[in-house]
């Protein structure tokens, strides 16, 4: 079975800093792969390299066997790779509806029609956000804003979803709600790559974990295997 996403010997450099070096993994269809590592490990940089926001210094990313080298972020999104962000402060003045509509337009071309409106409405209803559709993002509690961003990333029905710290800043109740929503999303978007600092959350939602530290790979396997690995324990505990 061909992997949905292949990352081969990926390296990213910022000046003299090696942000990533030798990152190598596959995400199979229907798999949820969690990326873990201490602060500064390069987790968000990895997502940025996959979705075209940063250019690798070495290596390759392939989506369904097709190289993503040289493609812009919007071109990668149009292929079927959705992405959430830790913060969406630049869109704080947008209504929930308009922000979700950006997701439909960004992955579906320039046309705006009834089909996109129906898709946006269905996404909001599925997430329990329909009553908030007219509110500005800046007026929402932080947990709802995170959920709105997941809806924006999923409204176009991507084949692979990249989630950047979906539980960052959330209460325990909001984290439980996010976990429930992500599991429901698996009915339509089965393949995900998730970065999160909450080891309990990411272990609960992921089939496998890929651990990195200082931009380098440590180990990959089941959550139980990875979390008991001596190198992972050392990376977290110092």
Number of residues written out for the chain: 238
Sorted by where each begins, the domain ranges of the chain are 5-89+159-237
Which phi-psi region, left, alpha or beta, contains residue 174 (left: φ > 0; alpha: ψ -120 to 50)? Answer: alpha
Residues 33, 25: contact at Cβ < 8 Å? Answer: yes
Q: Is the dihedral of CA 216, 220, 223, 228 positive or negative?
A: negative
Mean pLDDT on 47-67: 95
Q: Is the pTM of this model over 0.85?
A: yes
* Residue 31 C-beta-side C-alpha neighbours within 13 Å: 21
Amino acid 109: pLDDT = 46
Assign domain 5-89+159-237 to its CATH architecture: 3-Layer(aba) Sandwich (3.40)
- The three-state secondary structure class of 97 is helix
pLDDT digits (tens, 9 = 90+) for 62-121: 999 999 999 999 899 999 999 998 766 678 899 999 999 988 876 554 445 678 899 999
Confidence class of residue 187 from pLDDT cuts 50, 70 and 90? confident
């Amino acid at each position: 079975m061909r992997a949905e996403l292949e990352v081969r010997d990926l390296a990213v450099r910022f000046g003299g800093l090696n942000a990533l070096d030798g990152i190598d993994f596959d995400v199979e269809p229907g798999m949820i792969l969690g990326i873990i590592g201490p602060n500064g490990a390069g987790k968000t940089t990895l997502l940025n390299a996959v979705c075209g926001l940063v250019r690798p210094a070495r290596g390759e990313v392939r989506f369904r066997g097709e190289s993503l080298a040289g493609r812009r972020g919007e071109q990668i999104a149009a292929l079927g790779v959705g992405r959430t962000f830790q913060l969406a402060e630049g869109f704080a003045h947008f209504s929930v509806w308009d922000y979700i509509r950006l997701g439909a337009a960004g992955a579906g071309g320039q046309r705006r029609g009834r089909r996109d409106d129906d898709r946006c409405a269905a996404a909001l209803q599925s997430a329990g956000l329909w009553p908030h559709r007219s509110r500005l993002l800046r007026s929402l509690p932080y947990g709802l804003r995170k959920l709105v961003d997941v809806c924006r990333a999923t409204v176009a029905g991507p084949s692979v979803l990249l989630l950047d710290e979906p539980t960052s800043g959330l209460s325990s109740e909001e984290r439980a709600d996010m976990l429930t929503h992500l599991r429901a999303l698996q009915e339509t978007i089965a393949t995900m790559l998730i970065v999160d600092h909450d080891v309990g959350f990411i272990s609960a939602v992921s089939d496998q974990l890929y651990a990195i530290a200082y931009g380098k790979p440590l180990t990959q396997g089941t959550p139980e295997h990875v979390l008991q690995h001596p190198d992972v324990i050392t990376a977290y505990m110092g």
